[in-house]
Amino acid sequence: MSDKPRLWITRKLSDATIARAERDYDTVVNHADTPGSADDLIRASAEFDAIIPCHSEHFSADVARQLEPRLKIIANHSVGVDHCDLPALRARGIAVTNTPDVLSDATAELAMLLMLGAARHAVAGDRIVRTGAWDFWSPAFMVGKQVTGARLGIVGMGRVGRAFAAKARGFGMDIHYFNRSELSPEDAQGATWHSSVESLLGVADFLSLHCPATPETTNLMNSGRFALLPQGAVVVNSARGALVDESALMAALDSGQVAAAGLDCFQTEPGGNPGFAAYDNIFMLPHIGSATTATRDAMGFRALDNLDAFFAGNRPGDLL
């Protein structure tokens, strides 16, 4: 019997991550790559010392109450931890970590793709060319919204928000942000702070959401807040689906208050919102913000770094 800590990896992580895990731990990988159910998590807690889950595994308060004492640490393969009831897990003495920093650039790149694609009719343009329907041109054909020099509003200037702002500066955008507190001049890099979301929305020709999903931010963008945007604004969400009231977004698109949206996350995942399919001015991707090879390796290694520290008797660097 191995004297290494026993580890369950709930999803198919990168090859490099699995190789390192199998070297250093008594590792079992869910090669079927299906989400772990509540029953799976409870059963695993009797068999494993550690779990590396993804955002697809939900450690609710009810699940936390039923976890066996053997499980000592949950090393999330994600930055967001809204799938974990942290107080309930702490009450059971289970350490919880995440993987910050390493996915900021990949997610910011994807947010830029969403913003550009939404602004320049990427969905309709691709469809027209792909189906052979492109048989017309005019100066009025598919005129979009220019990004260069426009005002960009960012909600949440954490790591990803700042990485997105850095990329937006390359387009000469006038950057404004709402954050719980004003950034230092070094971090703000000339961006203008707004003390309320409402103040920010009034200047956001483009709006990009980069805040976590919490009870306070659920349906952050509702009908009232969409109405505060400049007419014809573009909305981007690469953070969490819970931030956007999807019915209110469709109503804002129908009225022209919002010209287009770029979405990488949805209230229902996987699957998304079937109603969005009718809108050529919604550019959608299936929650792949961090999906680059380099970032997946870095996320897996960060989770393993946290496990290594924990089992060496040290405080993990990303302990929550």
Q: Tell me whether residue 65 is one of the annotated catalytic residues.
A: no
Q: Which of 55, 120, 121, 287 is catalytic?
A: 287
pLDDT of residue 225: 98
User: Taking 60 as the threshold, does the pLDDT of residue 115 lie above it?
Assistant: yes
- Active-site residue (options: 90, 198, 269, 315): 269
Q: Is 83 considered catalytic here?
A: no
pTM of the predicted model as reported, rounded to 2 decimal places: 0.91
Q: What is the mean pLDDT of residues 217-233?
A: 98
Q: Is 269 a catalytic residue?
A: yes
The residue annotated as part of the active site, out of 240, 246, 296, 302, is: 240
Instruction: Over range 257-271, report the average pLDDT.
Output: 97
Domains of the chain (ranges plus CATH)?
Answer: 6-102+293-311 (3.40.50.720), 104-284 (3.40.50.720)
The sign of the torsion formed by the CA atoms of 278, 217, 105, 290 equals: negative
Mean pLDDT value across residues 166-185:
97
pLDDT above 80 for 23: yes
Phi, psi of 271 (to 5 degrees): 120, -50
Average pLDDT over residues 261-265: 98
Residue 320 confidence class, pLDDT cut points 50, 70, 90: very high
pLDDT at residue number 164: 98
d(CA 199, CA 144): 26
Of residues 171, 174, 162, 186, the one with CA closest to residue 108: 162
